[in-house]
Structure 1
Amino acid sequence: MDQNRLALLALHFIPGIGDYTVRQLVSYCGSAEKVFKTPKGKLLKIPGIGKVTADTIANELPFKSAERELKIAEKENTKLIFYTDKDYPYRLKHINDAPSLLYVKGNVNFENTKSVAIVGTRKSTDYGKHRVEELVESLVAHQASIISGLAYGIDIQAHKQALKHNLPTVGVMGSGIDVIYPAIHAETARKMLTNGGLISENPFGTKPDAHNFPARNRIIAGLCDALIVVEAAEKGGALITAEIANSYNKDVFAFPGNIGQSFSEGCNNLIKANKAHLISTVKDLEYIMGWTAHEEAVPKKQTIDIASYEPEEQTVLQTLLTNNYQLMIDELSWRSGLSVSKLASILLGLEFKGMISTLPGKIYKLRV
């Protein structure tokens, strides 16, 4: 690892510094390496940086911690992905509180075309397990990634069904990536490394303390295109994840349940409050998201003369041409290099010209 990446890792070992402050420091100083070379007086002028933090930056301890972390990462066969890296998940790039560092183990494909998070109670019923089984089996036609939290109940059922149907599945952890919790799911976690993997924002050795899980939930919400709540009580982690997903403008779905059943209350309340679409089968998901089955998703390639369009329009058209003819607006922005605000204007113009159509779920499709 070069010195700037080492410095970027070292920033994460300064007590009291969160993801936003890491970005703030790098932005003000120009690079992570320059943060540690900036005089204390100038550091104190950066919003959010106090005397204690400035003193710690001048200390060599963060670097020693970073070096130890790198050795463990090599031993654990774990990749460290910083928010400045090209392979940082595009679905997280536009989220303000996204983690500035991810620990990734396995064969995680962050660029899978479709990503579905499945969450719910840890005390799932046979009804909930059956819903997960049917849903995941139906998602095989879409070759969707299945994301969940490796917890008891609905989470582990989602991962196991994904493995059964050979769909990529990713477990987002509320502990260090080397601390499987609950331990009884270690074998499932091991199997996930082949087609999918594990993700954490926590340093190695972090215990599964309660406060880590709400933070973990924002990553689950951020990494998906659609979040599906299968069973949930009136209060709980699944509902927190749904609230976060709504704040990220993600599409949230919930399976309805029997009135009076404790693990149906959360889902029924989400639907009643218009915080989730009602889902009974995968067809409801397909309709809202504008998804077609995988075997139909890639149109027959056609030649399009884009030379007559403006340069930025050409960029958008070429990006869609090389990415299965349709993309969500955030991904289109990331791949084309155009800002979302600029892109919105270009897309509107192309829509007037009959070159693209808008699908549910903020997806733009080439009309050829």
Structure 2
Amino acid sequence: MITEEYLYAIALRECSLIGDINFHKLVRTFGSAEEAWKKAKKEYSKTDGIGQKTVADIGNEEYLKFAEKEIKFCEKNGVMMRLRHLNELPHLLNECDDAPAILYQKGNLEDSLKKVSIVGTRNMTSYGKEFIGDFFEASKSSRYVSVSGLALGVDKEVHEQSIQHKIPTIAVLAHGFHTLYPSKNKKLSEKILQEGGTLLTEFNSSRKPDRENFIQRNRIIAGISPSTIVVETGFGGGSISTASFANDYNREVFALPGKITDPHSQGCNKLIFQNKAAAISTIKDLTDSLGFNHSKEKTAELFPYSETDIQLTGVQQTVYESIKAHPQVSLDDLAQMISVSSYKILPVILELELLGKVKSFSGRQFMAI
């Protein structure tokens, strides 16, 4: 049932200077969106960091009229509303400081199932497509929900593979439910709902798919899951922002490495190089890291190798032995141990990660596998 609290929440969030963080501050101070709407303009000083200019719009009757229309739109189109301050958001997303005050939802959302966010370029190559197919094949016996952004390329492939493998999928949109962007994915969005999946957005029915909305949308993709996988992306790809949000939220990030000459992989390689993502060496290692290792089915390796076949170069061997002798050694300490500049060591460590010999941790620390 949609109560008056939802009405006031929509109206309050519509105020020009009331973003998600200020909304949360006000509701925490006054106890509800309704009370904030009625009291915050006169009693704003009760809330830290809120000034008179911030609350100037509160109480505007036009926003209440808009909220009434929005509620009618939701009721007519089968859209559910979730309010953060009523603890109605998915639990991991609710932990984020900048979580949306209001989340609009179509379809079912099983929050008890683990979620894995998978993102990447719109210009996916056969390499990325093969990886996504192999990942879903290897994890099909696990119970989880995939999350992506319903864009073309990697996102589309993630949702389609989820449906094909009977895995629920969540599509996070960068606009309201009055439209569907890109229009090419309209049938896919309908299929997601038919197969028990979910469409989510923080944007009301007045919001179009403007450029800035996509970056804002990406924080939900990162925040809703404990792990984010970046398949293919260039240096300036939107998936880099998703990885950054995931890092800020202290979530796991995995990236699919590729050739340094391939523009579709340069963003992933950079994330790995900067220690902002763990390199994916094999599908099995990835599914193990995600907690899917209970699967009895055999999983194919992305980069198969035999231990006896690996021949390390001289510098690789030196770096590897030093890391092996000093578990979770820092980059600076490692550089001092072997008398080699840190900027020269990093590429060697990346090579060792790709070979499955070394694992990196936050804070530029490393351990031999």
Q: TM-score if structure 1 supplies the norm length?
A: 0.76
1:139, CA displacement in angstroms? 1.9
Deviates more, 1:50-59 or 1:212-221: 50-59
| 1:43-54 matches, cutoff 5 A | 43-44=44-45, 46-54=47-55
| 1:112-261 matches, cutoff 5 A | 112=113, 114-194=114-194, 195-261=196-262
1:86, CA displacement in angstroms? 4.2
Q: Could you tell me whether the CA contact under 8 Å between 2:117 and 2:225 is conserved in 1?
A: yes
Q: For residue 283 of structure 2, what is the amino acid of its counterpart?
A: V
Paired with 2:218 and 2:270, the residues of 1 have a C-alpha distance of 19
Deviations 1:136-158 (A, max 9, x none): 22221212211000111111010
Deviations 1:66-121 (A, max 9, x none): 11000000111110000023442001121101111100001122221x21111111
Paired with 2:206 and 2:10, the residues of 1 have a C-alpha distance of 16
Q: Could you tell me whether the CA contact under 8 Å between 2:24 and 2:85 is conserved in 1?
A: no
1:36, CA displacement in angstroms? 2.6
The unaligned stretches of length 5 or more in structure 1 are 297-359, 361-368
Q: For residue 160 of structure 1, what is the amino acid of its counterpart?
A: E
Paired with 1:264 and 1:229, the residues of 2 have a C-alpha distance of 10
1:37, CA displacement in angstroms? 2.5
The unaligned stretches of length 5 or more in structure 2 are 298-360, 362-369
**1:206 is paired with a residue of what secondary structure?**
coil
Paired with 1:96 and 1:11, the residues of 2 have a C-alpha distance of 18
1:124, CA displacement in angstroms? 0.6
1:53, CA displacement in angstroms? 4.5
Give the aligned partner of residue 348 of structure 1: none
Deviations 1:297-334 (A, max 9, x none): xxxxxxxxxxxxxxxxxxxxxxxxxxxxxxxxxxxxxx
Instruction: Provide closer, same or farther for how the CA distance between residues 61 and 294 of structure 1 changes in structure 2, counting only shifts above 3 A.
Output: farther
Instruction: Provide closer, same or farther for how the CA distance between residues 280 and 205 of structure 1 changes in structure 2, counting only shifts above 3 A.
Output: farther
1:270, CA displacement in angstroms? 1.4
Q: Could you tell me whether the CA contact under 8 Å between 1:254 and 1:270 is conserved in 2?
A: yes
Instruction: Provide closer, same or farther for how the CA distance between residues 148 and 70 of structure 1 changes in structure 2, counting only shifts above 3 A.
Output: same
1:281, CA displacement in angstroms? 3.3
Paired with 1:54 and 1:224, the residues of 2 have a C-alpha distance of 33
Give the aligned partner of residue 264 of structure 2: 263
Q: Could you tell me whether the CA contact under 8 Å between 1:163 and 1:169 is conserved in 2?
A: yes
Is 1:83 the counterpart of 2:84 in the alignment? Answer: yes
Q: For residue 5 of structure 2, what is the amino acid of its counterpart?
A: N
Larger Rg: 2
Q: For residue 42 of structure 2, what is the amino acid of its counterpart?
A: G
Q: For residue 233 of structure 1, what is the amino acid of its counterpart?
A: G
Paired with 2:40 and 2:220, the residues of 1 have a C-alpha distance of 34
Deviates more, 1:11-20 or 1:149-158: 11-20
Give the aligned partner of residue 42 of structure 1: 43
In the alignment of these two chains, the number of paired residues is 296
Q: For residue 5 of structure 1, what is the amino acid of its counterpart?
A: Y
Q: For residue 219 of structure 1, what is the amino acid of its counterpart?
A: I
Instruction: Provide closer, same or farther for how the CA distance between residues 81 and 39 of structure 1 changes in structure 2, counting only shifts above 3 A.
Output: closer
Q: For residue 103 of structure 2, what is the amino acid of its counterpart?
A: L
